[in-house]
């Protein structure tokens, strides 16, 4: 099983600042087999990024993904109030599909 590790567990950021979230895989998941999701309290997760770098439909340009192999990053530029949430990465290189433990982005 590919283990996904996200860091930090909690990130305190002021509105308007940049947030950088990390996701590490226990083995290579290739170039395209990584997705990011956003989950707000009481809501279902929402797809933000797939293929490591491609924004899903309707996702603002301030969200960007990068990385390949075992190291991936989600960057949120100029954080808006609606961006404070929990973010999960997910690999789909191999079965079972696995998620990271999540990073909570909170208001500083």
Partner 1 sequence: EVQLVESEGGLVQPGGSLRLSCAASGFPFSSYSMNWVRQAPGKGLEWLSYITSSSSTIYYADSVKGRFAISRDNAKNSLFLQMNSLRDEDTAVYYCVRGAPGKRFHYFDPWGQGTLVTVSS
Give the interface with partner 1 as residue ranges (CB under 8 A).
32-33, 35, 37, 44-47, 50-51, 56, 88, 90, 92, 95-102
Q: Which is nearer to partner 1, 14 or 44 (CB)?
A: 44
Smallest gap from residue 90 Cβ to partner 1 (A)? 7
Tell me the β-bridge partners of 73. Answer: 22, 66
Nearest approach, Cβ of 34 to partner 1 (angstroms)? Answer: 9
As measured in angstroms, the least distance from the Cβ of 14 to partner 1 is: 26
In the bound state with partner 1, the residue whose beta carbon lies nearer, of 20 and 32, is 32
Task: Say how far apart CA 97 and CA 44 lie, in whole Å.
Answer: 18
Rounded (10°) CA dihedral 92, 97, 98, 103: 50
Non-local (6+) Cβ contacts of 58 within 8 A are none
């Amino acid at each position: 099983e590919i283990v996904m590790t996200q860091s930090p567990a909690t990130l305190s950021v002021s509105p308007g600042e940049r947030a950088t979230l990390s996701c590490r895989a226990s083995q290579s998941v290739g170039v395209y087999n990584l997705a990011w999701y956003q989950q707000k309290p009481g809501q279902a997760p929402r797809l933000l990024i797939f293929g490591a770098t491609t924004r899903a439909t309707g996702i603002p340009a301030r969200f960007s993904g990068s990385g390949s192999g075992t190291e991936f990053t989600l960057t949120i530029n100029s954080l808006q109030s609606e961006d404070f949430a929990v973010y999960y990465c997910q690999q789909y290189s191999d079965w079972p599909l696995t998620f990271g433990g999540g990073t909570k982005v909170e208001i500083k």
